[in-house]
Amino acid sequence: MNFEHYIRRCFELAQNGAGAVSPNPLVGAVLVYNDEIIGEGYHEQYGEAHAEVNAFESVPDSKRALIPESTLFVNLEPCNHHGKTPPCSQRVIKEGVRRVVLSNVDPNPSTNGQGIEVLRKQGVDVITGILEKEGKWLNRRFFTQHTKHRPYIILKWAQSADGFIGRNDGTQMAISNALTNIYTHKWRSEEDAILIGAQTAINDDPNLTNRNWFGKHPIRILFDPNKRVPNDFNIFNKTVKTLVIHRNLFSLVKSNDNLAHANFIRLFFKYLSSLDDALIQSIIVEGGGKTLRSFIDSKCWDEARIITSTKLLNHGVKAPIIEGQHLSLIQLGTDKITTIISSS
């Protein structure tokens, strides 16, 4: 039996939950009997049934007797705690499955090996580490939250062919093409929050919704230390929840302090972790040059998506300089999208 083949199928299924299951991880599950898939499922919506349960429920009545003789493939360790749903480890035991093949151990302290331990104590053969690196990449937001205790940060900007992200006077201009704009709205739908700085809000007055794509809108975060953005701007409309990050939120910061942006960002992460209802696991940063450079200089970023147009500006605001590992390059019409991941 080709373990990697079925774990890759788990990855494919899991990805269907992108934008709908956070702060839970993306999980897919496949039940295999004699190299035949008899059931499969994925975590479809936060608060609803997990992947393992959906896989078991998908097995037709004519093949339910095969479940105990089947192998369950799942890209993340079955949970072992009562949350919005019962523990998946107990469902696996109840169904009589004798072998489970995993990609990753769950980093969440409420599970973190406990699901595996419970299964093994019940005589289940648990095999781990199949395509482990790929599994962590799939759930990079979830792993970042539980290992670095902050959201996964994606920096995004569009630049001209000669390396500018806008005009010096702040006037709006389209750099990327229409196809790329649709693609970037898909990105927004997959993240919990979208962040811009005060100057971008003042210059562009954006809505920050994924109106060109389906799915939920991200929570809007306005990075406005000195509260400069007027209350009648689009970012404060009632379409989507907006969080405003300003100096008065932090007792350690006086309103007249010249606090370095890097330190301000760290306080911002600490503030987010204190919000019981925020559940912000990932943020896409679409700010201007100053905001982007603040995240880069403070090494508080994980992934950068850089859209390069064929247009020339000749002068203007220079695009940020960023160093990391080049992951991919794709072409969308006249635009190229480069993805870079942080080396830190």
110-123 core/surface letters (b: 16 or more CB in 10 A; e: else): ebeebbbebbeeee
Residue by residue, DSSP assigns 146-189 as HHTSS-EEEEEEEE-TTSEEE-TT------S-HHHHHHHHHHHH
Backbone φ, ψ for residue 157 (5° rounding) = -155, 160
According to DSSP, the β-strands at 193-197 and 219-223 are parallel
pLDDT by 10s per residue, the chain, length 344? 899 999 999 999 999 999 999 999 999 999 999 999 999 999 999 999 999 999 999 999 999 999 999 999 999 999 987 677 788 999 999 999 999 999 999 999 888 899 999 999 999 999 999 999 999 999 999 999 999 888 999 999 999 999 999 998 878 888 999 999 999 999 999 999 999 999 999 999 999 999 989 889 999 999 888 899 999 999 999 899 999 988 777 654 444 444 555 567 777 777 777 665 557 999 999 989 989 998 998 888 999 999 999 999 999 999 999 999 999 999 999 999 999 999 87
Query: Tokens 């580490």 — which residue?
Result: 129
What pLDDT is attached to residue 134? 98
The separation between CA 289 and the C-alpha centre of its own chain, rounded to angstroms, equals 23
Structure letter (DSSP) for residue 61: G
Question: Domain 150-341, what fold?
Answer: Dihydrofolate Reductase, subunit A (3.40.430)
Name the amino acid, one letter, at 178.
A
Contacts of 8 (CB under 8 A, 6+ apart): 131, 134
Instruction: Compute the residue count for the chain.
Output: 344
**Taking the domains of the chain in order of start, what are their residue ranges?**
3-145, 150-341
Active-site residue numbers? 52
Query: Tokens 């749903």 — which residue?
Result: 85
Nearest Cα to 253, choosing from 270, 233, 241, 273?
Answer: 270
What is the rounded CA–CA span in Å between residue 149 and residue 341?
Answer: 18
Contact by Cβ (8 Å): 337, 305: yes
What pLDDT is attached to residue 149? 87
What pLDDT is attached to residue 279? 76
Provide CATH code, domain 3-145.
3.40.140.10
Contacts of 276 (CB under 8 A, 6+ apart): none
Beta-carbon count within 10 A of 163 CB: 15
What pLDDT is attached to residue 135? 98
Name the amino acid, one letter, at 119.
L
What is the rounded CA–CA span in Å between residue 334 and residue 49?
Answer: 42
